[in-house]
Structure 1
Amino acid sequence: MTPAAALRAALAIEALKLRRSAVARIASVLLVVLVPLASVGMVALARSPQAGGPTAAKLADYATGDLATTHLMVCAQVLSVAALAAGGFFVAWSFGRELESGTAGALFGLAVPRSTIALAKCLVTLAWIAGCVVLTVAVTVAASAVVAAVSGAPFAAWADVRTAVVAGLLGGGLALPFAWVATVTRSQLGTVGGLVGVVALTQMVVLLGGGSWFPYAAPSLWAGMGGADAAAAIGLPNLLLAAAGAPLAIAAVVDAWRRLTNV
């Protein structure tokens, strides 16, 4: 079997696993439904006359400005975190399940190399995350257009679509390092624990003022989660550092699966 044929076969199998995965189905629905609802709902709550006290203070950034632009800003902020969480849970299942259950031993008898299988898993994961991100942003745009039409507000937020898509893709790409964690720990639960730990570490790094150069914080800060000043501090080098997480993780995972042992 040629390398190209092996990769095509592995991609077909991993795509089939993705379609039948309950984890992927649930994560897809949560992203495509909850993120747009949160984007529109948080802005509506911020601009509601009933909003007051701590709620009004937390949502103050969403209380003014163009309606559609604010919807897309919230979408970018939520999606940068939600895509990471969804992708992290999926790679914990995709890479950790076979190793944890012991069924990975069957991979040693296949004509397709284990490194090719790992590459296919990564590519399918990235394609799924990208599809979810684009669909989530599209649903948010549609929901925002409906709200704008009902309220009589203008709708011209197409420039902000790019920010939401890029923030979601960067967040989703940063889930790939947890595929390496799943390979090393051979544990789905251990991988999820690592994901939770990184999220907690990100909060600490941001509080200490180092978020701009921390890949897991940069996408959210760029989307405005830390305020306008924090967003202005994020430049192209910071985003490129975050974007480098996915290809570096793929290289590490492929190498780890190449050296995988049946013990």
Structure 2
Amino acid sequence: MSYFFPALQAEWLKVRKSKVIRITAVVFTIAPLMAGFFMIVLINPEFANSSGLLRAKTQFAGEADWASYLRLHAQIIAVGGILVFGFVTSWIFGREYADRTAKDLLALPYSRGVIVIAKFIVSFITNILLSAYVVTLGIIIGWIIGLPQWSSAIFVHGLSILLVVTFITISLSTPVAFIASYGGGYLAPLGFVILTVVLSQIVAVTGFGDYFPWAIPAIFSGLTEGDGVLSFNSLFIIIITSLLGIFSTLFWWIFADQH
């Protein structure tokens, strides 16, 4: 345990000093800005009269009110979060191989498992902070726009869905850590993340989204057809997927030959 906190501090320092995470936050800023833009179009339909395509694209956002606005943010995190959270996780684990610093970590006088757990915790904290930043910015934009039908009950309900979607989406990024460790870099995990996003759309259309982990957040957020309820089977699949990612990464770092 005496080695854990120094390892955690070192991993957090890497994230805090990284320009990659800052750039990721800037790119993720596009999400609430686009959500706000959609609400503006819905509030002012004449704004999009010159473009029927623009009007059609904003219809999926629902009505111009706080309930639809918060639900839209949950949908953004359900889909965009798979990409962003997966990218952050792949960077935290894959950078050691890309920068050729993995051998330095393995030479440290403590268990490799301590390194992996510290990386997972920092990855979780980083992704939570990114989500909090996006949601907070989105709420500020909503107030600036002047969205109607605000109430504490609507806000609490929308925020609870946002929290659930955020946590389950972040938990699904753990297999990315294993792919980054096994592949020894960024390309393999990024390819895996893109593949999961594509497959989740295909599987959801076929009606089997409840059984594909990376499609479940979108279903729960209401992006795809479904009852919007996180069933026991879906929750079980997410937990198993997350645990497999954690333990497979631990196994690889502890037992695999590292060259």
TM-score normalised according to structure 2 size: 0.88
Q: CA deviation at 1:211?
A: 0.8
- Alignment partner of 2:213: what SS? coil
In the alignment, residue 20 of structure 1 is paired with which amino acid? K
| 2: CA distance, partners of 1:239 / 1:54 | 37
| 1: CA distance, partners of 2:219 / 2:34 | 18
Question: Which of 4, 9, 12 is the equivalent residue of 1:7?
Answer: 4
- Alignment partner of 2:195: what SS? helix
Question: Which of 189, 193, 196 is the equivalent residue of 1:195?
Answer: 193
Instruction: Please show how residues 175-214 of structure 1 align to structure 2 within 5 Å.
Output: 175-214=173-212
Assess, with a 3 A threshold, how the Cα gap between structure 1 residues 16 and 260 changes in structure 2: closer, same or farther. farther
Assess, with a 3 A threshold, how the Cα gap between structure 1 residues 115 and 167 changes in structure 2: closer, same or farther. same
In structure 2, the gaps of 5 or more residues are none
| 2: CA distance, partners of 1:208 / 1:191 | 26
Deviations 1:79-138 (A, max 9, x none): 112222112112222211222343312223211222210111011101111122223222
Asked if 1:261 is matched to 2:257, the reply is yes
| C-alpha RMSD of matched pairs (Å) | 2.1
| 2: CA distance, partners of 1:73 / 1:198 | 22
In the alignment, residue 21 of structure 1 is paired with which amino acid? S
In structure 1, the gaps of 5 or more residues are none
Identity of aligned residues (%): 23
Q: Show the counterpart of 1:132.
A: 130
| 2: CA distance, partners of 1:258 / 1:86 | 27
Instruction: Please show how residues 1-40 of structure 1 align to structure 2 within 5 Å.
Output: 4-31=1-28, 33-40=29-36
Q: Show the counterpart of 1:70.
A: 68
Deviations 1:147-176 (A, max 9, x none): 22xx6x231231211111221222122112
Q: Show the counterpart of 2:170.
A: 172
| 1: CA distance, partners of 2:80 / 2:91 | 17
In the alignment, residue 194 of structure 1 is paired with which amino acid? F
- Alignment partner of 1:216: what SS? helix
Instruction: Please show how residues 85-96 of structure 1 align to structure 2 within 5 Å.
Output: 85-96=83-94
Asked if 1:44 is matched to 2:40, the reply is yes
In the alignment, residue 180 of structure 2 is paired with which amino acid? A
- Alignment partner of 2:3: what SS? helix
| 2: CA distance, partners of 1:248 / 1:262 | 21
Count of matched residue positions in the alignment of Structure 1 and Structure 2: 253
Q: Show the counterpart of 2:223.
A: 225
| 1: CA distance, partners of 2:232 / 2:58 | 28
| 2: CA distance, partners of 1:54 / 1:7 | 54
In the alignment, residue 38 of structure 1 is paired with which amino acid? M
- Alignment partner of 1:56: what SS? helix
| 1: CA distance, partners of 2:167 / 2:10 | 24
Asked if 1:103 is matched to 2:101, the reply is yes
8 Å Cα contact 2:32/2:138 also seen in 1: yes
| 2: CA distance, partners of 1:242 / 1:70 | 26
Q: Show the counterpart of 2:243.
A: 247
In the alignment, residue 242 of structure 1 is paired with which amino acid? I
In the alignment, residue 39 of structure 2 is paired with which amino acid? V
Assess, with a 3 A threshold, how the Cα gap between structure 1 residues 67 and 23 changes in structure 2: closer, same or farther. same
| 1: CA distance, partners of 2:181 / 2:168 | 22
In the alignment, residue 154 of structure 1 is paired with which amino acid? Q
Q: CA deviation at 1:23?
A: 1.8
In the alignment, residue 18 of structure 2 is paired with which amino acid? S
198-207 vs 119-128, which moves further: 198-207
| 2: CA distance, partners of 1:60 / 1:122 | 38
| 2: CA distance, partners of 1:244 / 1:71 | 31
